[in-house]
Structure 1
Amino acid sequence: MGPNTDTSDLGAVFRSARSALRLTQRQVGALVGYSASAISRIESNRMRVDLDTRLRLARALSIAPERVSGFPGPRTPVIDTVVPPPSPDEEDAMRRRNLLAGALAAGASALVGTGTASGASLEDALFRLPDAEPAPLRTLATRTAAARQAFTDARYGELTAELPGLLAHAEATRETAVGQARRQAHAILARAYVLAAELAAKQHSDTAWVAADRALSAARASGMSVPVGEASRVLAITMRRSGRSAAAVRLLTQEAAALDPTEARTAAVRTTLLLTAAYSAASGRDRTTALTLLDEADEDVRRRPAAPGGLFTVDATQAQVDIYRISVHNALGTPDEGVAVARGLDIGRIPTTERRARAWTDTARMWHALGDGTRTFAALRHVEREAAQEVRRPALRALTTSLLYGPATVSGLREFAVRTGAVPA
């Protein structure tokens, strides 16, 4: 597409690509940091966009860059312009309204509270980070490790308060660093955005798209395969949650195939990608693909039983394979096939709070699908003992409510439902 291409075609290029991917304007806006109304104006050619914005949209919509690079940028005031953007307060307000309208706000605030230590929510911070100066890489690495620990300990309120400042300092450092230091800054930034995406996913917030896309962009810029794999995983999770399970599986399996299975760290990342791909396939009710990928991950772990830790939010261990096997069977509608796995899983030996809570959550879902209210409630109580904030997640509150209003009466359940916010006192 050359420079003389009619600009009236540009909106159609974006609109057709978005439709082919079955994305809403709100979801596309989340990926590139604009409101749904702004995407609508771009698609109808009422907003002319600069090259950087065109390329970001192209990346988000899997469009070849050359298809959009030849269009002229902003020139006259007849059509809205993206650069300079609207005032920060106006644009941020539009973005928040559109991104958060469909999120489960009540569940999100119950999970992590409504703001950070500075008074701004994580959603606000993702759209306009606080001012920050560059920081030494060692300091950033230490802060990122501490944020990771808060996540694995299920201290989500603390993580929510820490992330905006961490992201702001990491962004500032990346902008000023050069050479190898810049690559390292990109890797640190990627991991900070991975945590933001994980946290947003737990909140059922659409801002997970924003954080995951930024994580993968930073990871690719680092040139390091491990951060790329970790960021690909969280992006695929957001894709799956939006109903794009097949696309998530493709992304994950492609990234897994690019990793060296003989090198310990990359092999461990590969295993986690296969596990997430298996669950994504199961969410799309593709039983054959789900079980094939799950068995491949299982075989990888058995070949490498002493897999090192150090991956960011999930480890490649036999216990993780077992947890995913339970969740895969739950998603496939065959929870009975997970019972033997659950009974053989020693959840107490799983090293992190967040993963233990995940194991008990999947066990609760399994027993609930099998109609065993007593065992479901027992598993939910384990989640609460492991991580009180986990049991207040929107998904677990919904499970608690479903159990409460089910056919069986379970002693102590109503008190639990009130305590965890599933029903009003």
Structure 2
Amino acid sequence: MDPHETIWREPAVRAAIATGHYGAIVRAVRLARHLTLAEVSERCNYSPSTLSRLERGRQPLADVRVLRALAQALAIPAPLLGLSDTAAGAGHRPALGTRVANNPASEQENDPMRRRTALTGATGLAGIMVLGGTPGAAATAPPLDALEHALLLGPGAGVPIGHGRLVDELRTARALFDLGRYGEVAVRVPQLLAHGVATREDSRADGIAATNVLLSHTYALTSQLMVKLGNDQLAWTSADRAVSTAEAGGDLLAHAAARRVWAIALRRAGHTDTAQQLVVDTAAGLARELDPHPAYLKTYTSLLSTAAYTAAVDGDRDTAGTLISEATDAATRRALAPGLSTTGGEALSVQLYRISMARVLGDFGTAVELAKRVDPAEIATPEARARYWSDVARALHQWRKFPACYQALLAAERAAPDEVRYRKPIQQITTSLLRNPSTATMPGLREYAQRTSPAVLDDRR
């Protein structure tokens, strides 16, 4: 690749290349080149709908002719798509996306064991079809020693890297989180924090506030990561740092985002009343900025959704319903805001919160019915897609729909393997399925457990 071409240094492109998934690479490069699906369609003679399916993993991207056409259309170096001048390379095959009903046939469906398993899951979900998972690396403990040291004892020695590079490094870490690569984020964050502190100390007075804002976003991301990894102590600690650095930075949106992760940490510690009050007050303060700053609606919607879920956790159906309705209204207002670019992501995010709320309220059938109304392929990031399937799996498990629950676990693994490797509720479901005589012999379950929860198998020996 041409090292002078700036797109190869963009965090989203670098993160996509790191996955080895061809569809993700094609999408990241297309967006970096500011090309629409229609424009690429004209270059390679494939329809925009086909290109969309290929990018999102809804259709296998394995045909050498298609790969070569895309490489030429987007000026992607052949090796990045597993190609050479003579033959297609081995490379990673892109993960097949999970679809809702009417799935086109794939070579994986020709495997009898996977086909039987998928059909079993479909009957439980009444139309939500999930293909079997693909083998991945065995689960390992998340690398938390350096991160724990950075949070509890200080980030250690770092070097000033300048505001611009700090922005790039933070974007890369966020992109990896959105890809569901939690272990990699945990490795990056200690150095990112060290560089951030060193950059702040090296900054002039007018640059200190801006660096504090970046540090706040880094601590907020760290708190979200700790929630994923089930470490509530470090989630609490990093959320507290996010709030303090946001206050020092004086940025309203950074402060709102930090208070949101702080509320989540409070909720997980059992302080649901305080958490709800905190996030509602933050939303009310932000609401005063909504008219002159319609882009703030995204953060406002997230705050209301978090408050609604917190009320649901506390069993307060009425408050939860009122708040999620307000979140829906805010998402709609953002979609209708003149001149504001939106893909409907906030409205979809609110729908995902509704599924979570139904589950924690014990309405498992409702949660599954709500899930059927969502096309997982429309969920923007692998992390959110895996979270959706994790919620579906948890609802189905509590509803005792075990075969369909297993299929949802496979779908979560396909979207983001770290989601099922590290999240404690998912590990508990895997343990339950293995210990239940009626489910322990489900085709592929032990192999799935070996990939994602080897300690569970070790405990059973």
Provide TM-score, normalisation by structure 1. Answer: 0.69
CA apart distance, 1:179:
3.8
Pair 1:367 & 2:396 matched:
yes
After superposition, the Cα gap between the structure-2 partners of 1:278 and 1:163, relative to the gap in structure 1 and judged at 3 Å, is same
Match of residue 345 from structure 1: 374
Structure 1 vs Structure 2: percent identity of aligned residues?
Answer: 38
Distance (Å, rounded) in 2 between the aligned partners of 1:350 and 1:423: 30
**Alignment deviations for residues 110-163 of structure 1 (CA, whole Å, 9 cap, x no partner):** 566335xxxx52111212312012221001111111111111111122211111
Q: What are the equivalent positions in structure 2 for 1:87-126 lying under 5 Å apart?
A: 113-114=142-143, 120-126=145-151
Deviates more, 1:179-188 or 1:143-152: 179-188
Q: What are the equivalent positions in structure 2 for 1:3-18 lying under 5 Å apart?
A: none
After superposition, the Cα gap between the structure-2 partners of 1:309 and 1:328, relative to the gap in structure 1 and judged at 3 Å, is farther
**Alignment deviations for residues 50-95 of structure 1 (CA, whole Å, 9 cap, x no partner):** xxxxxxxxxxxxxxxxxxxxxxxxxxxxxxxxxxxxxxxxxxxxxx
**Contact 1:373–1:408 (CA<8 Å) still a contact in 2?**
no
Task: Give the gaps of 5 or more residues in structure 1.
Answer: 1-108
Pair 1:418 & 2:450 matched:
yes
Pair 1:331 & 2:360 matched:
yes
**Greater RCO between the two (CA within 8 Å, min separation 6)?**
2
Distance (Å, rounded) in 1 between the aligned partners of 2:157 and 2:336: 43
Pair 1:149 & 2:175 matched:
yes
- What RMSD in Å do the two structures reach over aligned CA positions? 2.1
1:200 aligned partner, one-letter code: M
Match of residue 86 from structure 1: none
After superposition, the Cα gap between the structure-2 partners of 1:272 and 1:111, relative to the gap in structure 1 and judged at 3 Å, is farther
After superposition, the Cα gap between the structure-2 partners of 1:261 and 1:327, relative to the gap in structure 1 and judged at 3 Å, is same
After superposition, the Cα gap between the structure-2 partners of 1:200 and 1:326, relative to the gap in structure 1 and judged at 3 Å, is same
Provide TM-score, normalisation by structure 2. Answer: 0.64
CA apart distance, 1:339:
2.7
Aligned partner of 1:355 among 376, 384, 387 = 384
**Contact 1:357–1:387 (CA<8 Å) still a contact in 2?**
yes
**Contact 2:295–2:334 (CA<8 Å) still a contact in 1?**
no
Match of residue 18 from structure 1: none
Say which SS state the counterpart of residue 275 (structure 2) adopts.
helix
**Contact 2:394–2:426 (CA<8 Å) still a contact in 1?**
no
Match of residue 239 from structure 2: 212
Q: What are the equivalent positions in structure 2 for 1:40-51 lying under 5 Å apart?
A: none
Deviates more, 1:282-291 or 1:375-384: 282-291
Match of residue 274 from structure 1: 304
Match of residue 109 from structure 2: none
Match of residue 228 from structure 1: 255
Match of residue 164 from structure 1: 190
After superposition, the Cα gap between the structure-2 partners of 1:414 and 1:309, relative to the gap in structure 1 and judged at 3 Å, is farther
1:171 aligned partner, one-letter code: V
Q: What are the equivalent positions in structure 2 for 1:233-272 lying under 5 Å apart?
A: 233-259=260-286, 260-262=289-291, 263-272=293-302
Say which SS state the counterpart of residue 365 (structure 2) adopts.
helix
After superposition, the Cα gap between the structure-2 partners of 1:264 and 1:112, relative to the gap in structure 1 and judged at 3 Å, is farther
Match of residue 163 from structure 2: 137
**Alignment deviations for residues 352-390 of structure 1 (CA, whole Å, 9 cap, x no partner):** 111111111111112112211111111100011111111
1:245 aligned partner, one-letter code: T
Pair 1:388 & 2:414 matched:
no
Pair 1:196 & 2:222 matched:
yes
Distance (Å, rounded) in 2 between the aligned partners of 1:180 and 1:255: 26
Match of residue 48 from structure 1: none
After superposition, the Cα gap between the structure-2 partners of 1:112 and 1:321, relative to the gap in structure 1 and judged at 3 Å, is farther
**Alignment deviations for residues 251-283 of structure 1 (CA, whole Å, 9 cap, x no partner):** 100000011233232211010011111111111
1:125 aligned partner, one-letter code: A
Match of residue 70 from structure 1: none
Distance (Å, rounded) in 2 between the aligned partners of 1:364 and 1:246: 28
Distance (Å, rounded) in 2 between the aligned partners of 1:407 and 1:282: 33
**Alignment deviations for residues 96-118 of structure 1 (CA, whole Å, 9 cap, x no partner):** xxxxxxxxxxxxx9566335xxx
Deviates more, 1:379-388 or 1:398-407: 398-407
Distance (Å, rounded) in 2 between the aligned partners of 1:149 and 1:244: 31
Say which SS state the counterpart of residue 335 (structure 2) adopts.
coil
Aligned partner of 1:284 among 306, 314, 326 = 314
After superposition, the Cα gap between the structure-2 partners of 1:411 and 1:275, relative to the gap in structure 1 and judged at 3 Å, is same
Say which SS state the counterpart of residue 129 (structure 1) adopts.
coil
**Contact 1:226–1:265 (CA<8 Å) still a contact in 2?**
no
Distance (Å, rounded) in 1 between the aligned partners of 2:164 and 2:199: 11
Match of residue 180 from structure 1: 206
**Contact 1:112–1:156 (CA<8 Å) still a contact in 2?**
no
Distance (Å, rounded) in 1 between the aligned partners of 2:227 and 2:140: 12
